[in-house]
């Protein structure tokens, strides 16, 4: 029996062989173990790697059935539960391709949930063109279902700048509705954070007159310094801690909403780094190296200088 590391290396670097790939029955068993591990220990590092290896073996065998859809839907769900938005994005993109196949669409148990989560994820990311294309592809699926209707209500409130309404829908201690669907916690928390920041910016613009915005006024609007998960960037005037500095508070809230940043570098050509939401487990990428542009290839007469790859 070959060591696991040897098999993994063969899968990545050489043509796959039948003896290196687990049969479908073993993959189903591994999938059940991954689900049990997540339920019992919430260990995303371990479960994420198990799901990755299962997907890899399914891809090598070119399996396309309801089990493939089930694996990817579970991948999307647990990635959101953990807060790994990048992994959710990858899972959702793959699921969109599966949902386009009528044979696979019929076996999708979480089609409406995944598409609703995807719609809300695009709302957070602020991807207007991507959202438009997404809606055009899945318009027929985004009409019925509690989670779909909730996603539309929330998206409408955000697009119409009705941020207090969005906060009421998202904050469990504020909402009086009992029939709202349960969202993955990381997605709900990120949407709530964004709605509160946008509401704070709107209030700062509207009440920018001298001594018009006070601590009590913010509390009456539901914008206390604490939102239950993270402090809002409220800045008070130095001469009076009961008065809010509207311009400084607005600027700080705007910084927290910025989707991207440019990393300063002395290398030729600056790299634009996309700031992704949530956390991501990338231990499997730590060893990935690439040559600096402009240096000789590694297999040439000189060995190329190597540097760690910068990952989004």
Both tokens of 262, joined, read 């440019």
Is a pLDDT exceeding 90 seen at residue 11? no
CB atoms within 10 A of CB 130: 13
Cβ proximity of 171 and 228 under 8 Å: yes
Cβ proximity of 232 and 200 under 8 Å: yes
**What's the mean pLDDT in 36-46?**
92
pLDDT for the residue 16: 62
Q: Which residue has the tokens 């909403």?
A: 257
Both tokens of 212, joined, read 């018009």
Residue ranges per structural domain of the chain = 64-281
SS3 201: helix
Both tokens of 26, joined, read 């073993």
Both tokens of 221, joined, read 């609007």
Q: d(Cα 212, Cα 220) in Å, to the nearest integer? A: 13
Out of 9-18, 24-33, 178-187, the most confident range is 24-33
Q: d(Cα 71, Cα 29) in Å, to the nearest integer? A: 12
Condensed to tens digits (0 to 9), the pLDDT of residues 48-107 reads 999 999 999 998 888 888 899 999 999 999 999 998 999 999 999 999 989 888 888 776
Is a pLDDT exceeding 60 seen at residue 311? no
Q: Which residue has the tokens 């670097």?
A: 13
- CATH topology for the 64-281 domain: 1.25.40
Cβ proximity of 55 and 21 under 8 Å: no
Tell me which of 47 and 142 has the higher pLDDT: 47
Rg (CA), the chain: 24
> What percent of the chain has pLDDT above 70?
70
CA distances from 72 to 60, 62, 64, 90, 120 (A): 15, 14, 12, 10, 18
CA distances from 294 to 100, 140, 210, 268, 290 (A): 42, 49, 57, 10, 12
SS3 273: strand
| pTM assigned to the model | 0.71
pLDDT for the residue 173: 53
SS3 103: helix
Residue 176 binned pLDDT confidence (cut-offs 50, 70, 90):
low
DSSP states along 47-87: HHHHHHHHHHHHHHTT--SHHHHHHHHHHHHHHHHHTBHHH
pLDDT for the residue 115: 92
Both tokens of 304, joined, read 């190329």
Of 184, 242, 233, nearest to 212 (Cα)? 242
Alpha carbon 291 to chain centroid, angstroms: 30
Residue 174 binned pLDDT confidence (cut-offs 50, 70, 90):
low
Rounded to the nearest integer, the mean pLDDT of the chain is: 76
> What percent of the chain has pLDDT above 90?
30
Q: d(Cα 125, Cα 89) in Å, to the nearest integer? A: 11
């Amino acid at each position: 029996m070959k060591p696991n590391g040897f098999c993994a290396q063969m899968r990545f670097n050489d043509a796959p062989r039948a003896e290196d790939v687990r049969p479908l029955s073993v993959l189903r068993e591994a999938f059940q173990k991954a689900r049990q591990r997540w339920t019992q220990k919430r260990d995303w590092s371990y479960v994420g790697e198990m799901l990755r290896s299962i997907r890899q073996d399914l891809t090598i065998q070119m399996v396309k059935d309801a089990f493939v859809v089930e694996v990817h839907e579970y991948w999307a769900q647990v990635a959101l539960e953990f807060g790994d938005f990048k992994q959710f994005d990858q899972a959702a993109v793959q699921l969109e391709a599966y949902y386009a196949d009528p044979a696979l669409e019929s076996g999708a148990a979480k089609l409406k949930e995944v598409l609703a989560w995807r719609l809300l994820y695009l709302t957070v990311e602020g991807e207007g063109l991507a959202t438009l294309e997404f809606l055009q592809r899945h318009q027929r699926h985004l009409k019925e279902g509690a989670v779909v209707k909730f996603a539309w209500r929330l998206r409408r409130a955000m697009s119409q700048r009705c941020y207090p309404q969005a906060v009421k829908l998202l904050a469990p201690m504020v909402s009086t509705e009992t029939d709202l669907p349960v969202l993955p916690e990381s997605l709900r928390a990120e949407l709530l954070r964004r709605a509160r920041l946008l509401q704070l910016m709107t209030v700062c613009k509207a009440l920018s007159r001298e001594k018009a915005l006070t601590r009590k006024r913010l509390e009456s609007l539901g914008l206390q310094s604490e939102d239950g998960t993270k402090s809002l960037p409220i800045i008070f005037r130095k001469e009076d801690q009961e008065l809010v500095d509207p311009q400084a508070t607005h600027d700080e809230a705007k910084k927290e909403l910025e989707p991207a940043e440019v990393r300063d570098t002395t290398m030729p050509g600056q790299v634009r780094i996309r700031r992704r939401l949530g956390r991501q487990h990338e231990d499997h990428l730590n060893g990935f190296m690439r040559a600096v542009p402009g240096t000789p290839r590694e297999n040439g007469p000189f060995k190329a200088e190597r540097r760690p790859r910068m990952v989004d």
